[in-house]
Amino acid sequence: MARRKTGMTVAGVLSGTAMIVAVVVGVVNSGVYATFAEGMHLPVITNVSQLFPGADSQHKNGLGLNLPKPTAPDKGSSQSDGNGGSASDGVSAEGKLPAGASSPMSVGEALSAAKAMPTDTPHVKGYDRAGEFGGWANSDRLCGSGSTRDMILKRDMTGVDMDSQCRVLSGTLNDPYTGKSIEFRRDVYQKVSGKTRKVSGDSTAVQIDHVVALNDAWASGLWKESRKADRVTYANDPEVLLASQGAANNTKSMGVNLYGKGAPKQLHWSAGTPSVWLPDNRSYRCEYMAKRVYIKHKYGLSMSSWEKSETVSYLSQCAAP
* Sequence ranges of the domains in the chain: 23-47, 72-319
Contacts of 76 (CB under 8 A, 6+ apart): 95
pLDDT score of 169: 96
pLDDT the model gives residue 77: 35
Q: What pLDDT score does 63 carry?
A: 41
Biggest alpha carbon–alpha carbon distance for the chain:
113
In this prediction, residue 216 carries a pLDDT of 96
Best CA proximity match to 314, nearest among 280, 274, 281: 274
Q: What is the pLDDT of residue 279?
A: 95
> Residue 25: its pLDDT value, please?
60
- Of 108, 106, 103, 105, residue with least CA distance to 92: 103
Percentages helix, strand, coil for the chain (3-state, rounded to 5) are 40, 15, 45
pLDDT of residue 321: 76
Q: Which residues of the chain have pLDDT under 50?
A: 34, 37-65, 74-89, 93-94
What is the per-residue pLDDT for 8?
Answer: 62
* C-beta of residue 175 within 8 angstroms of C-beta of residue 161: no
What pLDDT sits at residue 99? Answer: 87
Q: What is the pLDDT of residue 51?
A: 43
* Alpha helix (H) residue ranges in 157-238: 214-217, 230-235
The reported pLDDT for the residue numbered 18 is 67
Give me the pLDDT at residue 96, please: 76
Strands 241-245, 206-210: parallel, antiparallel or unpaired by DSSP? antiparallel
- Quick one: CA torsion of 62, 63, 66, 69, rounded to 10 degrees? -130
